[in-house]
Amino acid sequence: MKLTDKKKIHILDAAEQLFYEQGVMHTSMDEIAKTAAVSKRTVYNHFATKDALFHAIIERMLTHLANTQLIEYDHTLPIKTQLMAIAVQEAELFASDNFLRVAKIAFMQMLQQADLAKQISTHKIGCMVYLEDFLKNACSAQKLTIVDFELAAQQLVYQLKSHIFYPRLYGFDIPNKTQEAYLIEQSVDLFLARYSV
């Protein structure tokens, strides 16, 4: 790896850490340069503005989160068993340090930059990578009845997010493992109550 590439990685690592700890607004390019052990000029050679650096960090973090193991519909298994596996996988993502880190860095900026929410929404992560196809196949097998697959996928994911992710993001009423398992199963049961044949 070239020295310039190594420096760029150091800059991204330093900025990500500082943005996470202090917020984007309260972090200066001087601090980033100092933490990355490079000159301020080097920082600007790679990233013309702090905003450009911020967007590069978000892109990098979302790319790291995109490595999701696909779960395909299996006609030999009960639909609830398969949806539970998907829900558990999604809950693990929502509770992960990496996901919470992206959310904490991006959340305040999204209130100020409307285009950021659009940028993030173009990245399908977690089960949203495959869930619509899974649901279509389950419908073809006559295990579910769904008209709007995108909405149905969002309903399952947002239900999980409200119970698993947001309490962690805001730091209140974080469920323990037993409570989390109960919430996951209740979310799947609610989904099946609406869409099962």
Boundaries of every domain in the chain: 3-58, 66-195
**57 pLDDT more than 90:** no
Range 110-128 average pLDDT: 75
> What's the confidence (pLDDT) of residue 20?
87
Closest CA to 87 of 46, 128, 55: 128
Q: Is the pLDDT of residue 116 over 80?
A: no
Q: Quick one: average pLDDT of 191-195?
A: 98
User: Does residue 188 carry a pLDDT above 80?
Assistant: yes
Q: Residue 106: what pLDDT? A: 81
Token pair 């959310």 is found at 103
Q: What is the pLDDT of residue 113?
A: 72
pLDDT band per the 50, 70, 90 thresholds, residue 142? very high
Beta bridge partners of 191: none
Using a 10 angstrom Cβ sphere, with 0-12 exposed, 13-18 middle and 19 or more buried, the burial of residue 88 is: middle
Spelled out in words, what is the top-level CATH class assigned to the domain 66-195?
Answer: mainly alpha
Q: How far apart are CA 144 and CA 134, in angstroms?
A: 11
Rounded to a whole number of angstroms, the CA Rg of the chain reads 20
The pLDDT value recorded for residue 62 is: 79
CA angle 51, 157, 99 (to 5 degrees): 40
Cβ atoms of 102 and 60 within 8 Å: the answer is no
pLDDT > 80? residue 128: yes
Q: Does domain 3-58 have CATH number 1.10.3720.10?
A: no
Predicted confidence band of residue 9 (pLDDT cuts 50, 70, 90) = very high
- Per-residue confidence (pLDDT) for residue 89, from 0 to 100: 95
Q: Is the pTM of this model over 0.75?
A: yes
Residue 42 contacts residue 7 (beta carbons within 8 Å) = yes
Average pLDDT, rounded, for the chain: 90
**66-195 matches 3-58 in CATH topology:** no
- The answer to whether the Cα torsion of 15, 18, 23, 25 is positive or negative is negative
Q: Which of 85, 109, 105 is nearest to 18 (CA)?
A: 105
pLDDT of residue 70: 92
pLDDT at 123: 72
